[in-house]
Chains A and B, each alone.
Chain A
């Protein structure tokens, strides 16, 4: 039987896109500027319907492209408004120039992002290549395993962005979550509004009593300091994210951290993964535990900032680790998550775990319990020392010449 976590919560059957739009309705930002793109289209479509029906007082700006969507959103934010948008894939790519400007100007925009493959070849299905391509843009990145997390992450993102003065994006896996109907617990409007509060920017362009300049030229004399401050703000935002999560748990009862540990504390083998596949992997961990295999899982929730010191402490005793990336870097080296996990461990002086890298699920390619069980089976062999860990990226469920 389904249980509620929040006393006043309401259990509903909703898709990932519907919960993103619902969170936006409850947050009721001053401005939303967006351009629809599969599979994020419904978020914008549902929200614009709220605007048309007078359900929200938000100003909705229909723009002609994602580049303009981000330009309008960041301009609104600079003017002092609480501003949001939503996009996916090619849309995020087209925004990239403006993403750096939003973070460089320290504007607390919140964006719903539905993870989708990038062309070419044309593909509308789920993988994380789009946000991984924006991972160094100075945005906080929060990933969701399911619709409940997407809803909860959106509500927290507003507070995180505004307290850290950093733009923040919240993702779901395209189609796998965005179009999957699941049970979600919604909280009443008044409780969400009380949690997100009112946006009171410290400085804003329409503050005529205290005029200031934003986005001026910044050459050899100050540019470096400002970019350093941005990098430092990302580092410092870990505390903001954890404090908001604590407050969220106190208010609504659901616990969030930088990452989730699932059966990890005594694990000898573990998978590190982001997004919906973590849920599929949990079912495999449960099966392995029943057989006495000490398998565990670490699910990254916040990828930017990367929880580098903390993750090293939690993986130090694991004998063999597989880092699963739903994006390839085409770098000749390793995929994005693997690079961050390994450098985090090495920087902490931890070199004992054997760590392998798998790329999976590009363009929505199926990843099921069988595939994940095979990875754990390989980890068992590596942990026992009967198989040498691969020294290059491995691929799951792909056809190729050996």
Chain B
């Protein structure tokens, strides 16, 4: 496996947009000139059930088509999943976890039993409420992921997401603006210890 390959695992609940976030994230990264993969883990599809979605990013063509088992980044859209799903599986001592929570990274690290410098937190729920008007945390978590990865240009991501949303919501500009603002705010607000 290429050392330059970045692998991401998204944990969410059906309806929170984990799949959509991974697809939008992949498209945005493609726009920066990298190879991408985005694929969800299809199980029984129902609102509220734990779901996973994955990304791979690389400078080189990606030929691997297996599941992501050792993610560099884990994005947790719903904090309650930390109780019921093995969210830190395969991250080792270097993988980073980004959690939608109002708790501090120290508190989350203790809960997950990992090093505090592996944990990033952002209150995506609150950001989503204030920007989109609904508790749909996927867009802010996308912004937080871009910040934590660090090598992607947030303006490219915002531009690409805007273009993508325009095709679906061109008559609802407030939806587009709210989503873009949520990405930017989470990008600015995500923090570690």
Contacts and interface: CB of A to CB of B under 8 A. Distances in A.
Interface of A: 1-2, 11-13, 124-125, 145-146, 173, 175-177, 179-183, 276-277, 279-280, 282-283, 287, 366-369
B126 interface: no
Interface in B1-38: 1, 23, 26-27, 30, 33-38
Contacts, number: 71
A125 B42 contact: yes
Interface string B149-170: 0000000000000000000000
Contacts of A366: 66-67
Contact of A173 (B26, B33, B37, B65): B65
Contacts of B42: 124-125, 175, 179
Interface string B52-65: 00000001001111
A283 B64 CA distance: 7
A277 B37 CA distance: 15
A232 B191 CA distance: 68
Contacts of A181: 23, 26-27, 36-39
A284 to B, nearest CB: 9
A182 B62 contact: yes
Contact of B65 (A125, A183, A277): A277
**Among A125, A183, A277, A368, residue most surrounded by chain B Cβ atoms (within 10 Å):** A183
A287 B63 CA distance: 13
B69 interface: yes
Across the A-B interface, the 4 shortest Cβ-Cβ residue pairs: A279-B63, A368-B66, A180-B39, A276-B65
A368 B39 contact: no
Contacts of A277: 65
Q: Select the residue from B37, B40, B63, B65 with max chain A CB neighbours within 10 A.
A: B65
Given A13-B38, A181-B26, A283-B1, A2 B33 contact: yes
A145 B69 CA distance: 21
Nearest to B54: A180
Contacts of B62: 182
